[in-house]
């Protein structure tokens, strides 16, 4: 069959670092699943970390699976072959748990499809004790309600510790109650684990179309499910054996996580909010993970990953050490995927000048200083221009600028400000090269749970398209400027999922049953499928997406906690509307967002000293003053968080 499908290497496993674990009746078998293609899913660090942690346990095994592309799916269904693992090609239905990583809303129908392909009823209520438990983790699970009817359990926060507790509970159940056909006892026991949410044990209440909240229906289920936070990243130096694929994948290089969490406080950024507090990996451990990883994998490129890598204390020394450590061996390329625009200067551009000339990406996110104050991305135009100047002066010909549109309080002046920034960047480029190129990439803003913008009414498709058209018109005669944009129709569906409640589950099932898979792929996305399904189930897309929420409204994720105080988020939302910035709390007194205080954890930084001239400001000046890192042969194709 593999000869009849595109990219058969997606399904054969056998990568460097792949494991062929030995299954046994006393071991809990996890199938770690990514609901998108192999190329997107394989590099996922969360799954790779759990893959290793679980396979090190004497009472567990873990394998992997990814969404089969629809050509293989057709063959599997035609020949009645179920979903399988790529490691030992074992049937998915043979595993005790199938654990999904959820990173994007448009993959939700793929999850249903994979569960169905595994031969498991898509609705948790229809499953028997001999079916695998269907679990999910990842950033999207901070509002799991659209998937509540399909998931047996949801894990909030860091997975490193909680997978062990889940394994023990499932192991005990497997040894005893499962044989008696009892599924309820394991769900009750799982609900008692901190960080685990069992949707079937919470009941939603409505008054007409007004959602009144979710309440637990058994004593084991807590009224508020708190996320899990590992206190010390140093205790988890994973992945130790990063997978090395046999075919092209995204982020095809060694990835070493240098810290988790972010305190910059960009108000649109869910990842920054829900992963607080900051926990840095000790520099010595990073150095040894890089050295071991490069040796084991054969990669000559390492990416130091985090949400804002320039903020890692001692980054210059760390990178210098990594580059120096290769001695007379082949040169190492160091990628810093999340540098901020205000950290990119002449020095780093000079260091980077021998790197690949694929282009550099900066993410100012908004076109005017006013708008950047609203979103708390306090990057000044001078910072952007000097970064662009440094890039063009050092031989780059292409620069990509990433923006969001549809942000709260956004006016046409803000949209035209994007064109103005692009024009000025091209002018800067002309001083250095005959044909500079600036690509403006625009994504529609989707408000996310547990951010200050969670109360904001998203822009309509028409409004987003009008702004994109305005920008296209304004840049039409700008030679060298290209505008690319994310389809506003996809933004609408993402918005419905992002803040939808449990009723959206019916829509998901209808779209999936009508063939709506791989909706995150342009060629497969089908808005009428979604709108028809919403209408059939009596749900109004406007109500879910375009409506501003009030302070009093109960939100579908209010029974979950990312550690952040709701009144902090509300105050930050009011500050946003008043165009007031909020400084980085790493270097300022704590303003009690809840992320540290609620968990008795403080930011763990490798060096407690802020960078010289660092971002200790008032929220008006966040130029980091960070000295460029010394790189021998680095690449940095995305230069701003
Ligand atoms: S609790 Fe305080 S120190 Fe911790 S992230 Fe929130 S504001 Fe910053």
What is the per-residue pLDDT across 100-110, written as a single tens digit (0 to 9) for each?
Answer: 999 999 999 99
Q: What is the pLDDT of residue 322?
A: 85
Residue 316 neighbours by CB distance under 10 Å = 17
Residue 274 has pLDDT above 90, yes or no: yes
Q: pLDDT band at 635, cuts 50/70/90?
A: very low
CA of 615 to the centre of ligand 1 (A): 15
162 touches 228 (CB < 8 A): yes
Q: What is the pLDDT of residue 501?
A: 95
- Residue 319: its H or E element: helix 315-325
Q: Is the residue at 632 inside a domain?
A: no
Q: Is the residue at 627 inside a domain?
A: no
272 touches 288 (CB < 8 A): no
DSSP letter (8 states) at residue 273: H
Residue 514 has pLDDT above 60, yes or no: yes
Residue 628 has pLDDT above 60, yes or no: no
- Whole-Å CA distances, 153 to 100, 141, 157, 403, 424: 10, 10, 13, 35, 51
Q: Which of 208-217, 338-347, 522-531 has the highest mean pLDDT?
A: 522-531
Q: 312-323, pLDDT tens digit by residue? A: 888 878 888 887
Q: What is the pLDDT of residue 544?
A: 96
Percent of the chain with pLDDT over 70: 89
Residue 636 has pLDDT above 70, yes or no: no
Which tokens sit at 111?
């999850």
Residue 611 has pLDDT above 90, yes or no: no
Q: Is the residue at 525 inside a domain?
A: no
Residue with tokens 């049937």: 91
Closest Cα to atom 8 of ligand 1: 585
221 touches 248 (CB < 8 A): no
Pocket perturbation via mutation, ligand 1, pick of 260, 261, 277 by most ligand atoms within 8 A of CB:
277
> Three-state secondary structure along 35-86?
CCCHHHHCCCHHHHHHHHHHHHCCCEEEEEEECCCHHHHHHHHHCCCCCECC
Closest Cα to atom 2 of ligand 1: 590
Residue with tokens 């790493």: 586
597 CA: nearest ligand 1 atom: 1
Q: Which of 359-373, 507-521, 585-599 has the highest mean pLDDT?
A: 507-521
Nearest-CA neighbor of 352 among 628, 138, 25, 604?
Answer: 628
227 touches 157 (CB < 8 A): yes
Average pLDDT over residues 457-485: 97
Burial of 578 (0-12, 13-18, 19+ CB in 10 A): exposed
In this structure, what are the phi and psi dihedrals at residue 330, rounded to the nearest 5 degrees? Answer: -60, 150
CA of 118 to the centre of ligand 1 (A): 43
Could you tell me if 161 and 274 lie in one domain? no
Which residue has better confidence, 75 or 354?
A: 75
Q: What is the pLDDT of residue 555?
A: 97
- 154 conformational bin, left if phi > 0, alpha if psi -120 to 50, beta if neither: beta
Q: 440-453, pLDDT tens digit by residue? A: 999 999 999 999 99
CA of 599 to the centre of ligand 1 (A): 11
Could you tell me if 343 and 447 lie in one domain? yes
Average predicted confidence (pLDDT) for the chain: 89
Residue 196 neighbours by CB distance under 10 Å = 24
Among the residue ranges 171-175, 307-311, 526-530, the one predicted with the least confidence is: 307-311
Which tokens sit at 359?
């282009």
Q: Is the residue at 402 inside a domain?
A: yes
d(CA 498, CA 445) in angstroms, rounded, equals: 11
- Tally of structural domains, the chain: 2
Could you tell me if 315 and 388 lie in one domain? yes
Q: What is the pLDDT of residue 558?
A: 97
Closest Cα to atom 6 of ligand 1: 593
Residue 430 has pLDDT above 90, yes or no: yes
CA of 259 to the centre of ligand 1 (A): 16
Nearest-CA neighbor of 336 among 366, 364, 365, 360?
Answer: 360
CA of 238 to the centre of ligand 1 (A): 26
Closest Cα to atom 3 of ligand 1: 590
Residue 71 has pLDDT above 70, yes or no: yes
585 CA: nearest ligand 1 atom: 8
Q: What is the pLDDT of residue 325?
A: 77
Residue 58 has pLDDT above 80, yes or no: yes
Q: What is the pLDDT of residue 568?
A: 96
CATH number at residue 559: 3.80.30.20
Could you tell me if 331 and 457 lie in one domain? yes
Residues with CB under 6 A from ligand 1: 263, 276-277, 585, 590-597
Which tokens sit at 562?
């990312």
Q: Is the residue at 88 inside a domain?
A: yes
Could you tell me if 193 and 285 lie in one domain? no
Q: How many residues does the chain have?
A: 641
Nearest-CA neighbor of 459 among 442, 440, 439, 474?
Answer: 442
595 CA: nearest ligand 1 atom: 1
Nearest-CA neighbor of 622 among 433, 270, 343, 268?
Answer: 343
CA of 561 to the centre of ligand 1 (A): 15
DSSP letter (8 states) at residue 453: G
Residue 511 neighbours by CB distance under 10 Å = 22
Could you tell me if 460 and 356 lie in one domain? yes
Nearest-CA neighbor of 627 among 401, 316, 355, 327?
Answer: 316
Residue 482 neighbours by CB distance under 10 Å = 15
352-354-357 Cα angle (round to 5): 85
Answer positive or negative: Cα dihedral of 428, 429, 435, 438.
negative
Which tokens sit at 266?
């960009």
Residue 420 has pLDDT above 90, yes or no: yes
CA of 262 to the centre of ligand 1 (A): 10
| Alpha-carbon torsion angle 451, 413, 386, 313, nearest 10 | -10
331 touches 355 (CB < 8 A): no
Print burial letters for 91-112: b (CB count within 10 Å at least 16), e (below 16). Answer: ebbbbbbbbbbbbbbbbbbbbb
CA of 605 to the centre of ligand 1 (A): 13
Q: Is the residue at 394 inside a domain?
A: yes
Pocket perturbation via mutation, ligand 1, pick of 260, 591, 598 by most ligand atoms within 8 A of CB:
591
594 CA: nearest ligand 1 atom: 1
Q: What is the pLDDT of residue 547?
A: 96
Q: What is the pLDDT of residue 318?
A: 87
d(CA 568, CA 570) in angstroms, rounded, equals: 5
Could you tell me if 267 and 386 lie in one domain? yes
Q: pLDDT band at 456, cuts 50/70/90?
A: very high
Segments forming the whole domain that contains residue 280 = 253-503+539-599
Q: pLDDT band at 349, cuts 50/70/90?
A: low
Pocket perturbation via mutation, ligand 1, pick of 594, 600, 608 by most ligand atoms within 8 A of CB:
594
Could you tell me if 445 and 553 lie in one domain? yes
Could you tell me if 24 and 155 lie in one domain? yes
Closest Cα to atom 4 of ligand 1: 596
Side-chain half-sphere of 190: how many Cα atoms within 13 Å? 27
Which tokens sit at 183?
């599924």
d(CA 313, CA 614) in angstroms, rounded, equals: 11
Could you tell me if 182 and 272 lie in one domain? no
439 touches 482 (CB < 8 A): yes
Residue with tokens 């406007």: 542
Q: Is the residue at 167 inside a domain?
A: yes
Q: What is the pLDDT of residue 435?
A: 92
Residue 640 has pLDDT above 80, yes or no: no
pTM comes to 0.92
Q: What is the pLDDT of residue 621?
A: 26
Q: Is the residue at 248 inside a domain?
A: no
CA of 589 to the centre of ligand 1 (A): 8
Residue with tokens 């808005």: 527
- Residue 305: its H or E element: strand 301-305
CA of 595 to the centre of ligand 1 (A): 6
CATH number at residue 32: 3.40.50.280
Could you tell me if 425 and 310 lie in one domain? yes
Q: What is the pLDDT of residue 358?
A: 53
Could you tell me if 175 and 257 lie in one domain? no
CA of 585 to the centre of ligand 1 (A): 6
Q: 276-334, pLDDT tens digit by residue? A: 999 999 999 999 999 999 999 999 889 999 998 878 888 878 888 887 776 666 677 78
Among the residue ranges 75-89, 331-345, 402-416, 447-461, the one predicted with the least confidence is: 331-345
Residue with tokens 């770690």: 32
Packing angle of the helix pair 488-499, 504-513 (nearest 10 deg): 130
- Whole-Å CA distances, 493 to 190, 230, 452, 581: 31, 33, 21, 30
End-to-end alpha carbon distance in the chain: 42
Q: What is the pLDDT of residue 120?
A: 98
Q: What is the pLDDT of residue 348?
A: 56
In this structure, what are the phi and psi dihedrals at residue 404, rounded to the nearest 5 degrees? Answer: -105, 145
Answer positive or negative: Cα dihedral of 308, 309, 310, 314.
positive
């Amino acid at each position: 069959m593999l000869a009849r499908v595109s990219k058969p290497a997606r399904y054969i496993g056998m990568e460097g670092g792949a494991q062929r674990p030995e299954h046994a009746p006393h071991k809990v078998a996890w199938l770690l699943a990514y609901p998108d293609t192999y190329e997107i899913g394989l590099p996922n660090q969360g799954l790779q970390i759990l893959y290793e942690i679980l396979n090190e346990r004497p009472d567990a095994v873990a394998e992997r699976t990814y969404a089969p592309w629809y050509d293989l799916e057709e063959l599997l269904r035609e020949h009645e072959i179920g979903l399988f693992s790529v490691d030992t090609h074992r049937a998915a239905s043979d595993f005790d748990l199938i654990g999904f990583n959820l990173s994007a809303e448009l993959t939700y129908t793929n999850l249903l499809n994979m569960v169905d392909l595994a031969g498991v009823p898509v609705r948790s209520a229809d499953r028997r004790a001999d079916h695998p438990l269907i679990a999910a983790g990842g950033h999207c699970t901070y509002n799991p309600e659209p998937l509540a009817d399909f998931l047996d359990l949801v894990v909030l926060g860091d997975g490193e510790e909680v997978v062990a507790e889940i394994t023990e509970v499932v192991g005990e159940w497997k040894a005893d109650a499962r044989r008696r056909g009892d599924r309820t006892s394991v769900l009750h026991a799982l609900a008692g684990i901190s960080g685990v949410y069992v949707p079937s044990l919470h009941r939603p209440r409505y008054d007409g179309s007004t959602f009144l909240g979710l309440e637990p229906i058994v004593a084991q289920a807590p009224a508020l499910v708190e996320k899990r936070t590992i206190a010390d990243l140093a205790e988890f130096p994973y992945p130790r054996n990063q997978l090395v694929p046999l075919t092209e994948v995204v982020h095809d290089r060694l990835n070493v996580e240098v810290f988790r969490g972010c305190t910059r406080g960009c108000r649109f950024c869910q990842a920054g909010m829900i992963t607080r507090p900051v926990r840095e990996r000790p520099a010595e451990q990073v150095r040894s993970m890089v050295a071991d990883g490069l040796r084991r994998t054969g990669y000559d490129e390492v990416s130091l990953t985090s949400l804002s890598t320039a903020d890692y204390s001692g980054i210059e020394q760390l990178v210098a050490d990594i580059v120096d450590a290769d001695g007379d061996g082949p040169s190492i390329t160091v990628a810093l995927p999340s540098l901020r625009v205000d950290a990119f200067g002449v020095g780093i551009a000079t260091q980077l000048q021998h790197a690949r000339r694929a282009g550099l990406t900066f993410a100012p996110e908004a076109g005017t200083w006013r708008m950047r104050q609203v979103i708390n991305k306090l990057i000044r135009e001078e910072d952007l221009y000097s970064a662009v100047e440094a890039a063009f002066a050092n031989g780059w010909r292409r620069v990509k600028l990433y923006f969001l549109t549809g942000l709260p309080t956004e006016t046409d002046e803000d949209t035209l400000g994007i064109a103005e920034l692009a024009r000025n960047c091209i002018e800067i480029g002309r001083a250095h090269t005959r044909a500079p190129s600036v690509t403006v990439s625009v994504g529609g803003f989707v408000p996310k749970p547990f951010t200050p913008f969670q109360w904001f009414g998203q822009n309509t498709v028409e409004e987003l398209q009008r702004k994109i058209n305005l920008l296209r018109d304004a840049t039409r005669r700008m030679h060298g400027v290209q505008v690319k944009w994310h389809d506003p129709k996809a933004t609408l569906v993402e918005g419905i999922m992002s803040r939808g409640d449990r009723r959206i589950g019916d829509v998901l099932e209808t779209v999936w049953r009508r063939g709506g898979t791989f909706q995150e792929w342009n060629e497969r996305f089908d808005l009428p499928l979604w709108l028809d399904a919403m209408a059939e189930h009596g749900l109004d897309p406007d109500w879910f997406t375009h409506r501003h929420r009030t302070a009093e409204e109960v939100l579908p994720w209010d029974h979950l906690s990312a550690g952040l105080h709701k009144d902090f988020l509300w105050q930050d939302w009011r500050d946003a509307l008043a165009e007031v910035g909020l400084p980085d709390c790493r270097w300022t007194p704590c303003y009690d967002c809840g992320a540290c205080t609620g968990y008795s954890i403080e930011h763990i930084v490798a060096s407690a000293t802020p960078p010289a001239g660092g971002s200790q400001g008032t929220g008006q000046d966040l130029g980091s003053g960070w000295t460029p890192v010394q790189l021998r042969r680095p690449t940095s194709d995305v230069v701003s968080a």
